[in-house]
Amino acid sequence: MTQTTHTQTTPPGPAGRPRSPEFRLAADALRGLRQDLFQDAFAYDPLPRRSADGALTRRLSAGWLPHAVVAALGVMAMSLAMASSFDSGPAALLCGLLALAPVLLTLARPVGAFWFSLAASTAAAVIGRGDFSDWPWLPGSFLSHLVVLTVVALRTRPRTAASMWVMTAVYGFVTAGLFGWHRYDSNVTPMLFVSALILLAVSLRHIRRQAQQEVTAQQTVTEHERSRRTLLEERTTIARELHDVVAHHMSVVAIQAEAAPYRVENPPEELEKAFVTIRENAVAALTELRRVLGVVRAEDYEAPDAPQPTLADLDGLLANVREAGLTVEKAVTGAVRELPQGVELSAYRIVQEALSNTLRHAPGASARVEIGYVLGGLGLRIVNTPPPAPQLIKPSPGAGHGITGMRERVSMLNGEMTAAATEDGGYEVTVFLPVPAATASEGDA
């Protein structure tokens, strides 16, 4: 028996019937209004300083710029309130302070500043009353409330801005209907129209900023996935190439183990069994290598007909890039010797990729390839001059992939690599591939 449970989020009606969609919509709206404007309305939330780079004076001025703008708008509202007041002296000053205080309060308690603005507007209307003055906002209070709505909307979310607009409409119509019937004019409609335009612009700004943040986050994730995919593709390419190298050596081991007993007259039985075991292990290793290659092989991958290249084939590579328009020269130092095939293949691919990058990112430049045979391994240096017209070079969509492949090859051989721009505007790649002394001596033999 399967037991199911049902969770009902909306309380049922009087007769146990579920609430209507209209009721749920109204309940959600009231709940959002309470959370936006009533819950922790006077909580301390200071306006943060803007981050700015540069000199100390520029950082200070840019950091406090939003605070200065808000204070300047508050002073403007105060001046307008004092200038438009029918009374002079303390009453005009009090009306000015009632217009200034809500604006300054938005710097520390934004939602509380909205409620204080409504209360200050009422007090200013009573203190600065006149027979033909607008109601319920005097000119100074009108500007002050618009500034408060704008600043609070900028500091909160669009839903809070909509809640403030609704409460402003309720306040305006109630005060105009109950207390402003004898007034010459009412400015509720202008307040709602202007504030709606301002809040709409602020909400669009919030939506645009949120969309930009989402796009930036998505681009970051996409770039990370692209880098990861590029890394896996480079490793797969290296695995395919090294398969041929390792398979060749294992084939040689298997053939030599099979032929060795026939080179010795009357070999001991133990020696024959040992060679049989060596051959079987070599064949088993070849089978596992083919399985690994089958895993990393792409659908369109075709095994190469020719052997994997080595440093002996480097002259052919340089001839090809010269035909493509790249002026390149080669310099070899040290005693040239045969190195392990994996090292020579990696060195060839590194030079190939470095020269391809020069053709792609620095057209018209010249390059130099330096190969150094040292005691502990092999050193490579590929450097190119700056392009003649860098401003005409278009960005390449594959930028950075070649460096990733080179680093993977060097890391596989426990080597070291640096790739950076030169002081004259060119680019330099330096690599050291270690080769154990025993391996190097075997290669010489």
For range 284-290, the mean pLDDT: 72
Q: What is the three-class DSSP state of 34? A: helix
User: Are the CB atoms for 339 and 435 separated by under 8 Å?
Assistant: yes
Q: What angle do CA 296, 302, 304 make, to 5 degrees?
A: 105
pLDDT confidence of residue 5:
46
CB environment 290-318: b (16+ within 10 A), e (fewer) = eeebeebbeeeeeeeeeebbbbeebeebb
pLDDT, tens digit, for every residue of 300-359?
555 555 567 889 899 999 998 888 888 999 999 999 998 988 888 889 989 988 998 888
What is the rounded distance in angstroms from the CA atom of residue 442 to the CA atom of residue 445? 5
How big, in percent rounded to 5, are the helix, strand and coil portions of the chain?
65, 10, 30
Q: Using omega within 30 degrees of 0 as the cis cutoff, is the peptide bond preceding 136 cis?
A: yes
For range 239-252, the mean pLDDT: 68
Q: Is the pLDDT of residue 267 over 70?
A: yes
Q: Which two tokens stand for residue 218?
A: 């998505």
Interhelix angle 110-127/90-105, rounded to 10 degrees, is 160
What is the rounded distance in angstroms from the CA atom of residue 167 to the CA atom of residue 322? 76
What is the rounded distance in angstroms from the CA atom of residue 405 to the CA atom of residue 10? 59
User: Are the CB atoms for 138 and 81 separated by under 8 Å?
Assistant: yes
For range 271-293, the mean pLDDT: 76
Give the DSSP H or E segment for 441.
helix 437-444
Looking at per-residue confidence, does 19 or 316 come out higher?
316
Give the DSSP H or E segment for 141.
helix 139-155
Helices (H) and strands (E) in the chain, counts: 13, 7
Phi–psi pair at 339, nearest 5 degrees? -110, 165
What is the rounded distance in angstroms from the CA atom of residue 349 to the CA atom of residue 22? 69
For 432, residues 6+ apart whose C-beta sits below 8 A from its C-beta are 377, 378, 379, 380, 415, 416, 417
User: Are the CB atoms for 370 and 381 separated by under 8 Å?
Assistant: yes
User: Are the CB atoms for 405 and 421 separated by under 8 Å?
Assistant: no
Mean pLDDT, the chain, integer = 80
User: Are the CB atoms for 168 and 119 separated by under 8 Å?
Assistant: no
DSSP per residue over 187-238, as a string? -HHHHHHHHHHHHHHHHHHHHHHHHHHHHHHHHHHHHHHHHHHHHHHHHHHH
62 burial level (CB within 10 Å; 0-12, 13-18, 19+): middle
pLDDT, tens digit, for every residue of 51-89?
655 454 455 556 788 889 999 999 999 999 888 876 777
Instruction: Kindly indicate the confidence band of residue 399, based on its pLDDT and cuts at 50, 70 and 90.
Output: very low
pLDDT, tens digit, for every residue of 129-188?
654 457 788 889 999 999 999 999 998 888 888 889 999 999 998 888 777 666 667 888
CB environment 386-409: b (16+ within 10 A), e (fewer) = ebeeeeeeeeeeeeebbebbbbbb
What is the rounded distance in angstroms from the CA atom of residue 83 to the CA atom of residue 98? 14
- Other CB atoms within a 10 A radius of the CB of residue 102 amount to 27
**Taking the mean position of all CA atoms in its chain, how far away is CA 245?**
40
* CA nearest neighbour of 48 among 149, 154, 200, 206: 154
User: Are the CB atoms for 187 and 168 separated by under 8 Å?
Assistant: no
Instruction: Kindly indicate the confidence band of residue 118, based on its pLDDT and cuts at 50, 70 and 90.
Output: very high
Alpha carbon distances (Å) from 150 to 36, 111, 377: 16, 12, 69
Q: Is the pLDDT of residue 2 over 60?
A: no
Token pair 């500091």 in the structure block, residue: 155
